[in-house]
Amino acid sequence: MHKIKKIIFNIGLPVFIIGGLLFYLNENKSTFVKAFDASWYQINSLIFLVLLTWVINNFQTLILLRSVGIKINFFENLTALVAMILGNYLPGRFGSLLRMQYFKKVHGLEYSKFGGIVGLRIVLLFVLTGVLGSIGLIGNGIANSDYNLPLLVCFLLMLIISVSIFLFPTPPKRQTDKRILKLWYNFLSGFEAIKTNKFIFRKLTLLVLLQFLVVSLRLYIVFDIIDVNISYWILLMMGPMTTLISFLNITPGNLGMREWAIGTISVISGINFQGGIFAGTIDRAVLMACTFLFGSFSLLYIVLKMKNLDPDRSHK
């Protein structure tokens, strides 16, 4: 029974999500073609903003890695990041696992400690999504006299829970022979190393806010392409939410999840569902084009470097 549930979740759910999106787009393809009116300026702007999103994301992980003593340059880290994005279009979060393996083999970074670094960034994303989402929802409610209280409660709970994680002290590390506890303490050490460094924390916060801004600009352009007006209050909500959803990866490359999410947030915000799905699909098309173009070289570089690494120089 457990195996059946696992198969349904790992195969059935992704097929349902992606298949549902393809079916919806096919059923509405004539409307989509009529609505699509993109200029080369808009397409080039989207490409630039996708690449800029990666650069900002790269700076975030670069700061976190250097804070725990990993010496890595900008381009190497960017290559590992883009390779991960492409690799995640394969089942089982292959890209994320490959990047963790790369840092373990090339830079000696334990998986658990790397998890702590990533974990802190995700918690920070939750904090800022809760703050900006609440502001955007309230602002949109004032502008349109229409408040969505259940969603506001979700944003506030997101904020309270994630802030609590930062405020509660990290349990002290203890000597142990148990592997699970060692992994847990490594995870906490990676988390704590950054949480207690206010300078790094401020820089990371600014970079995450900048990433939200760039994602919001992408969404503004794709909605403009299909001639749908979207308010800044909605973008204040939608930018952080779509960024956060990208971490779910229920489907390969998060295919379908982001598009359905943008459609749902659009409905909640007073925009028609169809417009949200179309906008998410356009952004996905540009994102995938950039991913497969630049990611192919990055993935090849990472795999070859790991394969050709001198065993005597690799970290055990």
Tell whether 258 is covered by a domain.
yes
**Residue 253 confidence (pLDDT):** 73
Tell whether 313 is covered by a domain.
no
* Chain segment 243-259, per-residue pLDDT in tens: 888 777 777 777 878 88
Tell whether 7 is covered by a domain.
yes
> Which residue is listed with tokens 């939750």?
126
**Residue 128 confidence (pLDDT):** 92
Tell whether 314 is covered by a domain.
no
Whole-number average pLDDT of the chain: 80
Structural domain that includes position 184: 2-308
Tell whether 227 is covered by a domain.
yes
pTM flag (> 0.95): no
Alpha helices in 68-197 (DSSP H): 74-87, 94-107, 111-144, 149-167, 179-195
Tell whether 19 is covered by a domain.
yes
Tell whether 316 is covered by a domain.
no
**Residue 9 confidence (pLDDT):** 46
**Residue 93 confidence (pLDDT):** 76
Query: 225 with 37: CB under 8 angstroms?
Result: yes
- 6-15, 75-84, 98-107, 208-217: segment of lowest average pLDDT: 6-15
Tell whether 315 is covered by a domain.
no
41 contact partners, CB below 8 Å, separation of at least 6? none
Distance CA 290, CA 292 (A): 6
- The CA dihedral of 79, 84, 89, 94, to the nearest 10 degrees, is 140
Token code pair at residue 103: 């840092």
**Residue 12 confidence (pLDDT):** 62
Query: 224 with 240: CB under 8 angstroms?
Result: no
- Percent pLDDT > 90 in the chain is 22
Radius of gyration of the chain (CA): 21
- Give the chain's domain count: 1
